[in-house]
Amino acid sequence: MSVKSRIEQKLTQAFQPESLSIDDESHRHAGHAGARPEGETHFRVALVSAAFAGKSRIERHRMVNQVLSEELAGPVHALAVTPSAPGEAASG
């Protein structure tokens, strides 16, 4: 299973998002620290979930990082996350 697929599966299971977007931006970081020729090292994630309602931006990021701790300890070098509650304007 690809890293992107694992991220999608874990975030879907943990947060049951209304929307989820996962972009592999590894190609944009070729030659940089943490980049590997096979990619799947740098991701941008945007998700909207009721689980984030009433949580601060830091709490939301910690929630996502906890769910993806295995990926962040291994193949993922960088993860940009935009977690929002339903009805909120997305903010990074």
Instruction: Give the number of other CB atoms < 10 A from CB of residue 41.
Output: 22
pTM of this prediction? 0.85
CATH class of the domain at 3-84: alpha beta
pLDDT digits (tens, 9 = 90+) for 21-33: 999 988 665 566 6
Report pLDDT for 31.
Answer: 61
Residue 63 has pLDDT above 60, yes or no: yes
User: Please, is 20 exposed, middle or buried when counting C-beta atoms within 10 Å of its C-beta (0-12, 13-18, 19+)?
Assistant: middle
Tell me whether residue 2 is exposed, middle or buried, using C-beta atoms within 10 angstroms of its C-beta: 0 to 12, 13 to 18, 19 or more.
Answer: exposed
The candidate with the shortest Cα–Cα distance to 20, out of 91, 92, 89, 82, is: 82
The answer, yes or no, to whether residue 79 has pLDDT greater than 70, is yes
The residue with greater pLDDT, 54 or 35, is: 54
